[in-house]
Amino acid sequence: MSKQVTTVSEEGFSATNEIGEFETTIDAEGEDAPDTLESLLAAYASCYVPALRVGGQQRDAGDLGRIEIESTGELNDDDKLESVYFDIRVEADVDDDTGQEVIDRAFELCKVHDALKSELHADTDFEGGAF
Note the pLDDT tens digit of each residue in 19-33.
999 999 999 999 999
Instruction: Kindly report the pTM of this predicted structure.
Output: 0.90
Question: Do residues 80 and 91 share a domain?
Answer: yes
Tens digits of residue pLDDT in 103-119: 999 999 999 999 998 87
**Residue 54's domain is classified under what CATH number?**
3.30.300.20
Question: Do residues 40 and 92 share a domain?
Answer: yes
Rg, Å, the chain Cα set: 18
Question: Do residues 52 and 100 share a domain?
Answer: yes
Dist. CA 4–CA 24, nearest whole Å: 14
The pLDDT, as a whole number, for residue 125 is 83
Distant-in-sequence, close-in-space partners of 60: CB < 8 Å, separation ≥ 6: 98
pLDDT mean over 17-46:
96
Contact call for residues 47 and 110 (beta carbons, < 8 A): yes
* Domains: count for the chain: 2
